[in-house]
Structure 1
Amino acid sequence: MSKSILPNITKRWSPRAFSSKSISEEDLDLLFKAAGKAASSYNEQPWRFVYAHREDTQNFNLLLECLTEFNQKWAKNAAVLVATVAKKSFSNNGKPNAHSWHDIGLAMGNLSLQATSMDIYLHHMAGYDKEKTIESLNIRADYEPVTFVAIGYLGDKEQLPDNLKEQETPESPRKDVDEITFVGQMGK
């Protein structure tokens, strides 16, 4: 029997064109439950998600205004915006958790695969104002923003600004395994 990569992994991509279709609170809850099943250092589960549906204009705009102008232009059409937030220290001893961002990555990987299985798409964004995010979203001192995520159903790329239309494709180059793996020592 031939082995292959799971279909939800190969189907996943990061569009910028989202449809106007809303995501139900039930479906969004399922995505967050999938995220919550991720592994984490000492089972700390340091991830927190600040989100708003597009229909919740006031809260959606709070998140949207934290993004760079470039990201605002297309993310405004997402059904949901999410800020991912990491707890900076371990709850049991107060020591810094150097792995919290990694753990959020695992949680978002789970969320991405669950979303893909439901024909929901995500686009992760690093383009945001950290200080504005902390202030606007009332991020507590022991937490820090990591990324923003636009979530929604696939839309028509014609709604995008001209400079983004040609980038809107599920096919993006990936490095070969021999470029990202090393046996024993890196650089040999």
Structure 2
Amino acid sequence: MTDELPVTKPADTSVPVHPLLAERWSPRALDPTAEIGDDALRALFEAARWAPSWGNTQPARYLVGRRGEETFTRIHAALSRGNSGWAQSAAVLLVGVARVVDEDGEKLPYAEYGMALATQNLVLQAVAEGLVAHQMAGFDRDVVRSGFGVPAEYQPMVAVAIGGQALSHEELPDRLREKELAPRTRKPLSELVFAERWGRSPF
């Protein structure tokens, strides 16, 4: 079996969708030499900043570090064992943090939803910049909170590895190599979208 990876892995959609959506996927084989320039990095967070949010409350915040920086090292140390091996090759590691309590001490409505929208914007901007991004739930939120002094009204939600895609999967263990080469799949629309009554699909 060749160790070369597909250059792209477009989604197999029932009708055409925008290339940014079709080409977005979450590789683990990252180029350890790839770098992200200042303008491209700033563009990721500008994209996140302009995501919609409930009442324009803008709950998304980010911790970010480039490979070789202390912040990168500290975020990497908080990743689960399953993520830390491959994520060390990322050009950038970040943690998305949601403000979940407002200035009056009340729960901020839809904070997690706003965080998700902002991060999706960020990931799609990464695709537009010719980069790849892999979002991760596997990290220690308490380590991030204590290590970076995250206030109590904020909740670390997601870690993201961003960089250039590697052309080879030889550095990955077998179980991850199989995932890297497997086709992308999703449930059919008939299981996801309903009309007239639950379970009756218009598609």
Note the alpha carbon deviations across 1:153-186, whole angstroms, 9 max, x for none. Answer: 1012222122211111473111111111222554
The answer on 1:102 being equivalent to 2:113 is yes
Task: Provide the rounded CA distance (Å) in 1 between the counterparts of 2:53 and 2:111.
Answer: 8
Task: Provide the rounded CA distance (Å) in 2 between the counterparts of 1:185 and 1:96.
Answer: 33
Task: Provide the rounded CA distance (Å) in 2 between the counterparts of 1:90 and 1:184.
Answer: 39
The answer for the alignment partner of 1:82 in structure 2 is 94
- Aligned pairs for 1:165-176 (under 5 A) are 165-169=177-181, 171-176=183-188
Task: Provide the rounded CA distance (Å) in 2 between the counterparts of 1:129 and 1:39.
Answer: 28
Q: Which amino acid in 1 is paired with 2:27?
A: P
Note the alpha carbon deviations across 1:121-141, whole angstroms, 9 max, x for none. Answer: 100000011211211122111
CA shift at 1:26, angstroms?
Answer: 1.6
Tell me if the contact between 1:68 and 1:129 (Cα under 8 Å) persists in the aligned partners.
Answer: yes
Specify every segment of 5 or more residues in structure 1 that has no aligned partner in the other structure, as ranges: none
Tell me if the contact between 2:99 and 2:155 (Cα under 8 Å) persists in the aligned partners.
Answer: yes
**Corresponding residue to 2:194 among 179, 182, 185:** 182
The answer for the alignment partner of 2:44 in structure 1 is 31
Task: Provide the rounded CA distance (Å) in 1 between the counterparts of 2:91 and 2:84.
Answer: 13
Equivalenced residues, count: 184
Greater Cα shift, 29-38 or 106-115: 106-115
Note the alpha carbon deviations across 1:8-53, whole angstroms, 9 max, x for none. Answer: 1000000001112111122110011011110000101100000100
Tell me if the contact between 1:39 and 1:103 (Cα under 8 Å) persists in the aligned partners.
Answer: yes
- Structure 1 runs of 4+ aligned residues shifted over 2 Å read 182-188
In structure 2, the CA distance between the partners of 1:184 and 1:136, relative to structure 1 (3 Å rule), is: farther
**Corresponding residue to 1:43 among 37, 49, 56:** 56
The answer for the alignment partner of 1:55 in structure 2 is 68
User: Equivalent pairs: percent with the same residue?
Assistant: 34
Name the Cα RMSD after superposition.
Answer: 1.7
The answer for the alignment partner of 2:147 in structure 1 is 136
Q: Secondary structure at the match of 1:109?
A: helix
The answer for the alignment partner of 1:163 in structure 2 is 175
The answer on 1:154 being equivalent to 2:154 is no
Q: Secondary structure at the match of 2:179?
A: coil
CA shift at 1:89, angstroms?
Answer: 2.0
